[in-house]
Structure formats: C-alpha cells, structure tokens
Structure 1
Amino acid sequence: MSGAAGAPRRIVLWRHGQTAWNLADRFQGQLDIDLTDTGRAQARRAAAKLADLPPDAIICSDLRRTRDTAAELASVTGLDVTYDDALRETYAGDWQGLTHTEIRERFGDQYEAWRRGEPVRRGGGELETEVADRAAPVVERTVEKLPPGGVLVVVSHGGAIRTTIGRLLGLPPQTWEALGGLTNCCWSVLGESVRGWRLLEHNANSLPERAIGDDV
C-alpha cells in the first residue's frame, strides 16, 4: 500500500440517515427512498463531527438517501461529492419494499437460509460477494489517489458497507456477518497499515482517537 510508507490514510464508511422504511423494518435495497426529518438532522450532526477529521474526498452512492446525507458534509467542508452507482445497497429483487414479516411469509425457506448466514440471492437479487465486487474497487481506486495521511469518506448503505469492509480487510465472506450493523448516520473507520487495512472504529458517532498501547 503506497501510503503506508508515510502517514497512514483512512477510510470512513458512513451510513445514510434515517428513512421511513428503516422505521418500518422494510427492505429498501436499491429503491430510492428519502430521508426523514430526523434523518436529515442526523446527517447535519454527523457532518459537523466528520468535518473535523478533515476529509480530503467524498464518494457516495447515487441514491437520494445517501446523496442528501453526503450533501451535509459537502456543505461544511466545501468538497465536491463524486457519485457512483457501484456504491448502492444490495439489490434484493422481490424482497425490496417488503417488511421482514412479509418476506418470512412469502419467501420462508430463502429467508431462513439467509438468516443462517448462507449465501442467498435475496428475492433473486445480488449475493453479498457481488456487492463487494462492485463497491470495494471504487473505494480502493479512490483512496489510492489521496496523499499520505488523507481521509476518504464513503457515504453508502449498511449492507454495502459491511461487504466492503469485509473485502478490504481480507475476511472470508462467511465471516462478514460478524461485523455488526451500522446505526443510521454512524460510521466505521479503516486505517492503512503495513499489513493492509485495519478496522479502527465500528458503528461510531464520535471521532476516532489514537489507540495507545493496544498490543500490550
């Protein structure tokens, strides 16, 4: 990793703010759902904190809930946002728009296999590895352009972020579910090291502090 020779670069993977479908426990997938007023307020509060990093670049899923989240950070940093549909949430086919209860009723066997951690094309949609195949390279290409010590903010979705973290850390796909979910407008931080990317913070809503003596 080219930046490892100088100050380490960081990747902040930031989930969008709250939507009405989050509250309803309804699968959004790649359907384009707006933030609630609460979601917009969450984005403003989080952006004020993330601006203090400060970030060098912002990339974002092209769906409205992420675009509106990223816009809050852009407004306080003056940075442009680069949108990429490769950072969209997992396409969940016929599950999209349904609640967990409705999915369990209509797709019981498939739903239970997914809950067991088996690779499942939910509703005929994407596998988690396919999401990582499209999202992780965008993040890698972008962070490689940053100077040593640079910070990239990636505004995306819970499932897409989890698969991207798993891929960047080199974890086997069957272990990705061990990464707990992200609360709306919380983030995870990866830091560059001589061994590759390292998970520094997960599901955070405050700025990361340097770990002192974490190996002793």
Structure 2
Amino acid sequence: MSFPQPTRILAIRHGETAWNVDTRIQGHLDIPLNDTGRRQAQRLAAALADEPLHAVYSSDLSRAHQTATALAGAIGLPVRAVPGLRERAFGHFEGRTFREIEAQWPDQAQRWRQRDPDFCPAGGESLTSFYARVIEQAQTLATAHAGQTIALVAHGGVLDCLYRAATRVDLKAPRTWELANASINRLLHTPEGFTLVGWADTQHLQDLALDEFADGATR
C-alpha cells in the first residue's frame, strides 16, 4: 500500500505596512505594503529564488498579494489568490490601534487579549471560526500538492493558526513565537496533519524585520 508523500509548505507573512508600524488592526481592510514592506518582499524573493516551488498561493488582500507577486516573479510562477487565506475579520476593531480599542471597548479588549476563543468583535470572526477556516483551506491546498513544495503567503493570524496546528498548541495559549513580516516558516503536511520544520527565519531581512505583536498583544 502506498501512502501520499508529504507536502512541503513555506508559510510567509506579508511585508510591512504603515498600519503594522502604527499597531493598527487591518483584518479584512485592504492595506498595501509600505516602502519597507516592498524592500522586504524583494529580499524574500531573492532568498527563495532557488527554492523548488511548484505553486505560490496568496491571500487576496493586497499586502499579501504584493509580497507573493515579488516571490512568484523571481521563480517564474503565477500567484493564485485564495480568499480563505485572509487575515481574521475584526469587525469594528478594524482601522483602530491597540490603545484605541482598549480605551473604547475595555471589556472586549480584555477578552481579545486573553484569547477567548468564542469572542467575536461585531462584524468579525471568533478565534474558533477563524482557525477552522484557515486550517481547512491550508489542508485543501496541501493535499492538492502531495509530494511538492508550495508557498502560502498570508497574514500573522494565519501563520499563528498554522503554528498551533503543527505544534498542537491550544488556541487559548499565549503566543511565545515570532510572526515577523516577510519571515520564512517551514512546515510539512501529511494526512495526519501539519508538522513544524522551521520557524521565523528572518536572516534575509537583517534590520527590516518587524513583529508588532511581540509585546504580547494577540490577534
């Protein structure tokens, strides 16, 4: 009996945006890369120019799609836009900074920071539904490329879900791993699920890496 070969996954967060710098929640709002983000995308593309990729998938939001376009252009592949790889929808939090959210909705901010899996900002997604959406989409793409290597260019929240799936970390557990802009993160997928291979490679970025959630704020 033959078994499907594992799919090798490069999970990549989009390059920096002005709203990352401002710690402003983007969610489903379509914010483009800033100048630093565009430089990060070019360095990412150069770092992975010799990677044997078979497909490049991206969130359809421009910050991820621009990052993926730089990568795909360096290796001669098209970018396949996938709405299922979008960031978590944050409803009325979107467009506001961490401090503005805490000032306007302190009770909601506390539930958000404590990673309440059932908390859903008005018009947004709960952690539970977001995680289910991301993992289902990633599994679908990985299964379609058994034995191959693919890139998934997405968002910090998406990468957080993939890390938790690969390491079996509970949704409610505080994050202790990096989610830097334009970082390279490696996983394997088999019918048994995801496995972590390597995380938070930012050597190609030198002084350009940013993780605006490093102070403990959560998505």
* TM bracket (short chain): 0.7 to 0.9
Deviation (angstroms), 1:65: 0.5
Identify, as 1 or 2, the structure richer in helix.
1
Dislocated runs of 4+, deviation >6 Å: none
Deviation (angstroms), 1:173: 2.5
Alignment match, 2:16: 18
3-state SS in 2 of match to 1:90: coil
Alignment match, 2:153: 155
- Assess if the C-alpha contact under 8 Å between 1:136 and 1:168 holds in 2: no
Query: Which ranges of structure 1 fall in alignment gaps of 5 or more residues?
Result: 208-216
Please say if 1:131 is aligned against 2:137: no
Please say if 1:56 is aligned against 2:57: no
Deviation (angstroms), 1:171: 4.0
Counterpart of 2:180 (choices 175, 180, 183) is 183
| Structure 2 Cα separation of the partners of residues 199 and 75 of structure 1 | 27
Q: 1:48 to 1:66 in 2, by over 3 A?
A: same
| Structure 2 Cα separation of the partners of residues 178 and 21 of structure 1 | 21
Alignment match, 2:207: none
| Structure 2 Cα separation of the partners of residues 135 and 194 of structure 1 | 17
3-state SS in 1 of match to 2:25: coil
Give 2:180's aligned amino acid.
T
Give 1:41's aligned amino acid.
R
3-state SS in 1 of match to 2:109: helix
- Assess if the C-alpha contact under 8 Å between 2:142 and 2:189 holds in 1: no
Q: How many residues align?
A: 202
Please say if 1:40 is aligned against 2:38: yes
3-state SS in 2 of match to 1:161: helix
TM-score, L = length of structure 1: 0.85
Please say if 1:73 is aligned against 2:74: no
TM-score, L = length of structure 2: 0.83
Q: What percent identity do the matched residue pairs reach?
A: 34
RMSD: 2.2
